[in-house]
Structure 1
Amino acid sequence: MVKVIVCGACGRMGRRIIDILSQDEETELVGAIEAKAHKALGTEVIPRVKVTDNLEKIIDRAEVVIDFTNPQVSLENLEIASKFNKAMVIGTTGHTEQEKKLVIEKAKTIPFLMAPNMSLGVNLLFKLVDSVARSLKGYDVEIIEAHHNRKKDAPSGTAAKLGETIAQALNLNLKEAGVYGRKGMVGPRKPQEIGMHAVRAGDIVGE
């Protein structure tokens, strides 16, 4: 049985992961981490597993750390996982390019997975989009994504990955081709622009 600690345990994704782990006979939740001063500290997420704010104190219980927190905290948690030689999964999004480089460097010594979206269907979409972008050149590319009103990063990690995938397929640099929203007299659309737009409203899971 694989023993797991979830960081960001009381967030939307954290709660969902804990529900899944609780129903899986091959995994066991052994720790739940939240931010200091979080209102859930000391409460049980499942029987006998209380929320704490100190990953290093309980990491010996686990084989795998799953992180859905924020970019800075995910780097701190990765540092701890690497120190104690624990496998880690990061589903947190919103990292800068420099932070992504730090993640890659810190993760060299441990089993590690990082993805902007853990859905099999979405990862298949990345491959399909790459193929379509290489085959159908000359079309305007606009990416519009929508999430709930509590999501902190924009565009979403999935939308950003789609943009990166399309840019690579078209031999473009997303930093140069990406246009994040438009306002005012911006002039005609440039042929190689990749438009990125984010909607935040209600309880939208992700579109």
Structure 2
Amino acid sequence: MDHDALLLPPFAHGSGPAPGLASGAAPDSASDSGAANRRNMALLVQLRWIAVAGQVATILVVELWLGIPLPLAEMAVVLAALVLLNLATQLWLRRIPDVSGQALLVGLVLDVAALTAQLWLSGGATNPFASLYLLQVTLGAVLVDRRSAWVLAGLTCTALLALAWTHRPLHFPGHDDAAIFSLHVAGMLACFLLDAILLVVF
């Protein structure tokens, strides 16, 4: 459901600039690349805070408004892990001047893992928010090198395939098939809107 609006100039592939940069020129040294990666890691932190807030809001709507029971304790553990990861990353960024491309990839992989866990707990591939994987792939395509981006794409495809086979199914008490389908379509539209807004803003 497994989610500072600043406009981004186009990213240089593998080490693009983060919000607020005036120059879109690609870095020409390891130091410049590390500094750009550091700014991009800060961008991931911002997006992760949005992801956490978005997941909390979605869980509350689904559980309290729609009346669909969710495994709240397990989902709260995933959210707590994301919060701890973000706090640790912020402390780490204050102590280092540069960030490697591998560290960026690790951050993206951890985000994919958290999204996968939340989806597994809430319907797997049938969850309309499964398309949030595309946001992770897009971030990988502009933030890390080509090989790492392919690794991330393969990981998300594998995760989605696995979720089609194994997941914790949702139960919809008091909802007939037509109502369930309508909820699914509404979820798909909400997810598409979220993807579009985040991609344009960041």
Under a length normalisation based on structure 2, what TM-score does the superposition of the two structures give? Answer: 0.30
Give 1 or 2: higher helix fraction. Answer: 2
Under a length normalisation based on structure 1, what TM-score does the superposition of the two structures give? Answer: 0.30
Give 1 or 2: higher strand fraction. Answer: 1
